[in-house]
């Protein structure tokens, strides 16, 4: 069982709360009603071990790709913890068994291009998942998100994992969320590797129902909208550019 830290529990963890420098996020944490948690930080030692290696600037591209795949599987495991199941009866070599199966294939929506780094691991977890893509580029001057490509499957009430490794300003995530909502996505979880307090606040304010699943919430953004300490440009590190 993956251990998760629900962000509302962080009020008891002084070091971590001090690391969250956004007042708006801190107030959301303080006012988070139990049972209505919308930010899940997966703090399992394996996830944190692999994330530390991903952050390390010395980690070469081949290892980075392997690690991001592994972390994606672990985050996906947690992100699908509430997936609906149906009865599935099978017969083992020893006799009948009343088992469970996923009620439907989830949909993974990758935010190009860095989302594809998480996609491989998620597809290893659920090889039958449907896959969509949204292309949203960040204007490096304004930091605003601009859409240039969309290909989405039919959501039909399926669980949707919107995948983008870096939840920085939140502009891209909010734009992607509104695109999948417009196409009828209902149960959406945003899966990221590293988030910022600004990005978390932006997403939670823009979308009343989304849950964020991430491996870390780092302290701040720099002037260009990069997460500090983060791991640098996720796309560059995945694709070796």
Please classify residue 153 by burial: count the beta carbons closer than 10 Å to its beta carbon, then call 0-12 exposed, 13-18 middle and 19+ buried.
Answer: middle
Residue placing its CB nearer to ligand URA in the complex, 8 or 171: 171
Min separation Cβ 160 and ligand URA, Å: 21
> Which of 172, 175, 164 lies closest to 214 in space, CA to CA?
164
Least spacing, CB of residue 11 vs ligand URA, in Å: 26
Catalytic residue among 30, 56, 209, 233: 233
User: By C-alpha distance, which of 199, 44, 176 is closest to 108?
Assistant: 176
Nearer to ligand URA, 51 or 227 (CB): 227
Binding site for ligand URA (CB under 6 A): 114, 166, 168, 225-227, 230, 233-235
Query: Catalytic annotation on 13?
Result: no
Query: What does DSSP say about strands 159-163 and 166-167: parallel, antiparallel, or unpaired?
Result: unpaired
d(CA 189, CA 207): 11
Long-range contacts of 219-228 (CB under 8 A, 24+ apart): 219/19, 219/20, 219/21, 220/21, 220/196, 221/168, 221/169, 221/196, 224/140, 224/143, 225/138, 225/143, 225/168, 225/169, 226/168, 227/166, 227/168, 227/194, 227/195, 227/196
Minimum Å distance from CB 4 to ligand URA? 23
* Annotated catalytic residue 211: no
Q: Considering only CA atoms, give the Rg of the chain.
A: 18
Q: How far is the CB of 76 from ligand URA (least distance, A)?
A: 20
In the bound complex, what is the minimum distance in angstroms from residue 142's beta carbon to ligand URA?
14
Nearer Cβ to ligand URA (32/171)? 171
Residues in the chain: 241
From 142, 156, 209, 222, active-site residue: 142
164 is catalytic: no
26 catalytic? Reply is no
Long-range contacts of 80-89 (CB under 8 A, 24+ apart): 80/106, 80/125, 80/126, 80/159, 80/161, 82/159, 82/187, 83/159, 84/159
Q: Which residue, 114 or 217, is less far from ligand URA as judged by CB? A: 114
Residue 106 or 230 with smaller CB distance to ligand URA: 230
Active site residues: 138, 142, 233, 236
């Amino acid at each position: 069982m993956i251990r998760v830290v629900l962000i509302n529990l962080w009020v008891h963890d002084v070091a971590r709360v001090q690391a969250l420098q956004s007042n708006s996020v801190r107030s959301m944490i303080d006012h988070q009603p139990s049972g209505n948690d919308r930010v899940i930080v997966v703090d399992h030692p394996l996830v944190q071990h692999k994330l530390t290696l991903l952050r390390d600037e010395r980690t070469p591209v081949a290892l980075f790709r392997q690690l991001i795949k592994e972390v994606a599987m672990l985050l996906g495991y947690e992100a699908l913890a509430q997936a609906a199941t149906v009865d599935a009866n099978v017969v083992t070599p020893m006799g009948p068994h009343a088992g469970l199966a996923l009620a439907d294939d989830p949909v993974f929506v990758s935010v190009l291009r860095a989302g594809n780094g998480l996609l491989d691991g998620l597809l290893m977890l659920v090889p039958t998942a449907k896959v969509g893509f949204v292309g949203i580029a960040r204007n490096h001057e304004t930091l605003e998100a601009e859409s240039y490509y969309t290909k989405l499957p039919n959501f039909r009430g399926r669980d949707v994992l919107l995948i983008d490794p870096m939840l920085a300003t939140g502009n891209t995530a909010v734009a992607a969320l509104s695109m999948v909502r417009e196409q009828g996505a209902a149960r959406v979880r945003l899966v990221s590797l590293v988030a910022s307090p600004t990005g978390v606040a932006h997403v939670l304010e823009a979308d009343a129902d989304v849950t964020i699943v991430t491996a870390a919430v780092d302290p701040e953004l720099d002037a260009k909208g990069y997460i500090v300490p983060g791991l640098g440009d996720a796309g560059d590190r995945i694709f070796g550019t």
